[in-house]
Amino acid sequence: MGTAVTHAPAMEDLTKDSEPRQRPAKSPRPAALKRRGRRETLAGYLFMSPWIAGFLLLTAGPMIASLYFAFTDYNLFDAPKWIGLDNFSEMFDDPRWQNSVKVTLWYVAVGTPIKLIAALGVALLLAQKRRGQAFYRAAFYAPSLIGASVSIAIVWKAIFSDDAIVDRTQKLFGIDVGGWTGDPDLIIYSLVALTVWQFGAPMVIFLAGLKQVPRELYEAAEVDGAGTLRRFWNITLPMISPVLFFNVLLETIHSFQIFSSAYIVGGGAGGSACGPADGSMVYTCYLYVQGFENSRMGLASAMAWVLLVGVALVTAVLFWSQKRWVHYEEGA
Amino acid sequence: MQQNRNVERRTVLKAAGASLAVAGLGATATACGGDSGSSGDGTVTIRYAWWGAEDRAERIKKTIALFEKKYPKIKVKTDFQVYPDFWKKFNTQASGGNPPDVFQNAIGFLRKYDAKNVLLDLSAQVEAGNLSLDGFRAGLEKFGEVDGKLLGIPVGSNSMALVIDKPVYTKSGVKPEQGWTWDDFDAAMKKIRDKAGRAGDSGMYGVMYLYDLYLRQNGKAFFTEDGLGFTESDLKQWWTKAEKGIKEGIYADPKKVAQTKPKSAVAAELAAGEFTWDNFTVRYTSEGKSEYGLAPIPTTDGKKTGQYLGSLMLSASKRTQHPKEVAQFINFMVHEPEVAEIMGYDRGVPATQAQYDAFKPTDPVNKAIAEYEESLVKAGVLEPITPHPNGADICESAFMRIAEELALGKRSVDDAVKQFFTESKTALGS
């Protein structure tokens, strides 16, 4: 790899990014190589240009525009009017906005841990060598593949509605709530159930992590007489903690962004936007309502930026906390 | 890694080629994107957007085929969504400067989109002779006029009614008649609950158009030119009655109503009746198993129902490149007798006399609608419509949502009333 690096400065940069702890010292380059290097750099940028153009046009541009709109009153038709921080103060005073924050935080705080526990539990089961293991892995992963689709959300709505399968099963046990999706307090549970059901992606990552744990550790522990629980607690968990951290981070961010499932289960086409009495009005749904139903793009932009800052804060807290519970094996 | 480098290069080249191809395709696509253009031989394409369901789509397809046969130089491209999605898409398209050339419209949106400079004033086309205002029934041609501008042409008229599940009403021994009062109505609701074991109504407290009628019966209206035409205490009264009705079980369980959406609570057999537009009977008949009929609106004084004719309209975009063709299209759709034969009462009773005469319903549902509208004319209860200001559509959805929150026990009456007035003031900018 060392020789390849001197020929391709662009690739050197890439390696630097992906492996920050492995920084090879820059080797001095002769003039001929330098010229060649410049040509390769140029070629590199040329090949990257579609992506760079895409980034500038489709990501950076809209982001800057939305940051500007966040401080304006903009209804899509008339020119945006600068109103300073009014959008933000209106937002914080709006009880519907406060409700959407509450619903979203609840969803993240309850849904994410259950989903991760489910993923880890199933990964532990699937990590063992069993017959038909490949089938089980595929079967458990399948919901995540199709899970993001609109059709699943529609099926979910049908399952949890009044007099549908869940409701009828409950009635067999004498619990009659009349369907979850019409109850402003229960609808959010059906969304939590939906996200937990899609635990396949973190499960696969957990599986990969579990494979990395050295067998010798378990053997040594067994010799010392450690039981299953003990081994899980003292070996498995610390050893996979970087993977766990990764999953917690990813799933938390992911949960904050819930939209399509809430939008569809809560009403979707033909119904009121997000759940009975705003029961499943998550943050992004309310953002959508303000932007596209009420034509208040300025306010919606402001909401988007508040969400971004909120997620950034949560992420920062998670990174700060990792020092306490994530163990990286030195020199690995 | 070393031996992979060639492969990688090739992949990279391929990827680059592919993205160039995609970019190229994108460019072609945008070139064709201005689809309301005209081609070399003078053929013009106009875009026509409307809301509704599959059933309406089939009928509209047939009317367009008819139009294209008669006007071979005009091609019509259609686009449809269900009602709420229609307006989201329209909003985005219109703000991007690319609204459909001609589209279905309703009274609540006229001022809104006029204020945003989206709607074409069709009076110039009337003067040019491309669009005729002759032969409309009951003064309907005035319906799309706002501040002297002609912003929409009615395709059909409809009126608020009480759509009922006939067998349930009969079983309960309730026979609604023109001029019955709200007290009669309340008594009927109780009778239906007790005798048929079903809620009498699906949730009238959240129907803005019904509340408007109730206010009109009392000399007020839901909207004025630029604000709300009633007070907080008016609404408090209306919703206090609603709260009581839900507790007593004379209005359907709002939890169940919420879950059957978009299917109506009447078709789902949750309620014996619902206040809505009379032409919805057609839809309920295809959704539900029972036999549906129309009952008159209850009154306060035994006479005045506060009713007016409502209407779906066709409007044109101010940005259209082909105002003449659009006017010809609208003209064809509202005057051509054959169009009425195809559409039936799907969008209400046809607005022009020629179309009204062309379609004489033979099936009981459409017959009932015709009879209902005729009975309104005979009873002389129809009045002129009150204005819908800019922001009326947002008020309507707030009214529906907050009424539902009240019904589900998430808000007290006081709280709900306060919330509605706060939101309406923002929406109406007053």
Task: List A residues 203-262 in contact with B (Cβ-Cβ < 8 A).
Answer: none
Residue A298 at interface with chain B, using a CB cutoff of 8 Å: no
pLDDT at B386: 84
**DSSP character for A274?**
B
pLDDT at B198: 93
| pLDDT band at B75; cut points 50, 70, 90 | very high
Total count of residues recorded for chain A: 332
The DSSP annotation for B325-390 comes to HHHHHHHHHHH-HHHHHHHTTBTBEESBHHHHHH----SHHHHHHHHHHHHHHHHT---PPPP--T
Residue A75 at interface with chain B, using a CB cutoff of 8 Å: yes
- CA separation for the pair A195, A191 (Å, rounded): 6
Residues of B at the A interface, defined by Cβ within 8 angstroms: 1-2, 5, 12, 16, 19-20, 23, 81-85, 87-88, 91-92, 94-95, 116-118, 253-262, 394, 397, 400-401, 404-405, 408, 410-411, 419, 427
Residue A179 at interface with chain B, using a CB cutoff of 8 Å: yes
**Measured torsion, CA atoms of residues A145, A147, A148, A152, in degrees rounded to the nearest 10:** 130
Partners of B78 in the beta sheet?
A: B48
C-beta atoms of B419 and A178 within 8 A: no
- CA separation for the pair B140, B128 (Å, rounded): 21
Partners of B257 on chain A (C-beta within 8 Å) are 182
Of the ranges A147-156, B273-282, B365-374, which one carries the lowest mean pLDDT score?
A: A147-156
CB contact at 8 A, B298 and B181: yes
Q: Which of B1, B117, B400 sits opposite A1 (nearest CB)?
A: B1
CA-wise closest residue to B402 among B390, B392, B393, B415: B415
Quick one: angle between helices B182-196 and B232-248, nearest 10? 20
Average pLDDT, chain B: 86
Q: A299 vs A67, A278, B127, CA distance in Å?
A: 11, 19, 43
- CA separation for the pair B297, B275 (Å, rounded): 8
C-beta atoms of A271 and B262 within 8 A: yes
Instruction: Please give, rounded to a whole number of angstroms, the shortest distance from the CA of B247 to a CA of chain A.
Output: 16
Partners of B119 in the beta sheet?
A: B317
Residue A178 at interface with chain B, using a CB cutoff of 8 Å: yes
Long-range Cβ contacts of B138-143 (<8 Å, 24+ apart): B138/B309, B138/B377, B138/B382, B140/B309, B140/B311, B140/B351, B143/B107, B143/B309, B143/B311, B143/B313, B143/B385
CA-wise closest residue to B120 among B388, B305, B288, B319: B319
Q: Which of A47, A161, A270 sits opposite B262 (nearest CB)?
A: A270
Residue A293 at interface with chain B, using a CB cutoff of 8 Å: yes
pLDDT at B194 over 80: yes
Q: What are phi and psi of B318, to 5 degrees?
A: -65, -25
Q: A301 vs A71, B162, B254, CA distance in Å?
A: 8, 42, 34
Partners of A1 on chain B (C-beta within 8 Å) are 1
Q: List, for residues B109-131, the tens digit of each pLDDT value.
A: 898 899 888 999 999 999 898 99
Is the peptide bond between A80 and the residue preceding it cis, with omega within 30 degrees of 0? Answer: no
Strand runs (DSSP E) across B259-307, as ranges? 273-277, 292-295
SS3 content of chain B, % helix, strand, coil (to 5): 50, 15, 30
Q: List, for residues A42-55, the tens digit of each pLDDT value.
A: 999 999 999 999 99
Query: In terms of CA atoms, which chain A residue is nearest residue B394?
Result: A294
Partners of A50 on chain B (C-beta within 8 Å) are 16, 19-20, 23
| Beta pairing class for B149-150 and B153-158 | unpaired
pLDDT at A24: 55
Of all helices (H) and strands (E), which one includes residue B163?
Answer: strand B160-165
| Beta pairing class for B160-165 and B349-350 | unpaired
Q: Is the dihedral of CA B87, B88, B89, B91 positive or negative?
A: positive
Instruction: Please give, rounded to a whole number of angstroms, the shortest distance from the CA of A118 to a CA of chain B.
Output: 29
3-state secondary structure of B51: strand
Quick one: angle between helices A200-212 and A133-147, nearest 10? 140
Number of CB atoms found within 10 A of residue A170's CB: 15
- Give the N- to C-terminal CA distance of chain B in Å, as an integer: 69
Query: In terms of CA atoms, which chain B residue is nearest residue A51?
Result: B19
CB contact at 8 A, B212 and B306: yes
C-beta atoms of B427 and A294 within 8 A: yes
Q: B248 vs B93, B193, B239, CA distance in Å?
A: 46, 9, 14
Residue A266 at interface with chain B, using a CB cutoff of 8 Å: no
Instruction: Please give, rounded to a whole number of angstroms, the shortest distance from the CA of A237 to a CA of chain B.
Output: 34
- pTM of the full structure: 0.80
- CA separation for the pair A10, B197 (Å, rounded): 77
CB contact at 8 A, B196 and B207: no
- CA separation for the pair A272, B397 (Å, rounded): 8
Q: List, for residues B2-61, the tens digit of each pLDDT value.
A: 444 444 444 444 444 444 444 444 333 333 434 445 556 778 999 999 998 777 888 999
Structure tokens at A323: 């020092």
Question: With a cut of 70, which residues of chain A have pLDDT below it?
Answer: 1-30, 147-148, 268-273, 329-332
C-beta atoms of B118 and A77 within 8 A: yes
pLDDT at A313: 96
Instruction: Find which of B88, B259, B423 to mutate to test the A interface (most A CBs within 10 Å of its CB).
Output: B259
- Give the N- to C-terminal CA distance of chain A in Å, as an integer: 19
Instruction: Find which of A293, A296, A297, A299 to mutate to test the B interface (most B CBs within 10 Å of its CB).
Output: A293
Q: What are phi and psi of A267, to 5 degrees?
A: 160, -65
C-beta atoms of A269 and B394 within 8 A: no
Q: List, for residues A190-232, the tens digit of each pLDDT value.
A: 999 999 998 988 999 999 999 889 989 999 998 988 888 899 9
C-beta atoms of A272 and B16 within 8 A: no
Query: In terms of CA atoms, which chain A residue is nearest residue B18?
Result: A50
Partners of B162 in the beta sheet?
A: B275, B295
pLDDT at B238: 96
pLDDT at B429: 82
Instruction: Please give, rounded to a whole number of angstroms, the shortest distance from the CA of B103 to a CA of chain A.
Output: 18
Structure tokens at B348: 């209400």
Structure tokens at A332: 């690995």
SS3 content of chain A, % helix, strand, coil (to 5): 70, 0, 25
Q: Which of B255, B400, B404 sits opposite A178 (nearest CB)?
A: B255
> Is the ipTM above a cut-off of 0.85?
no
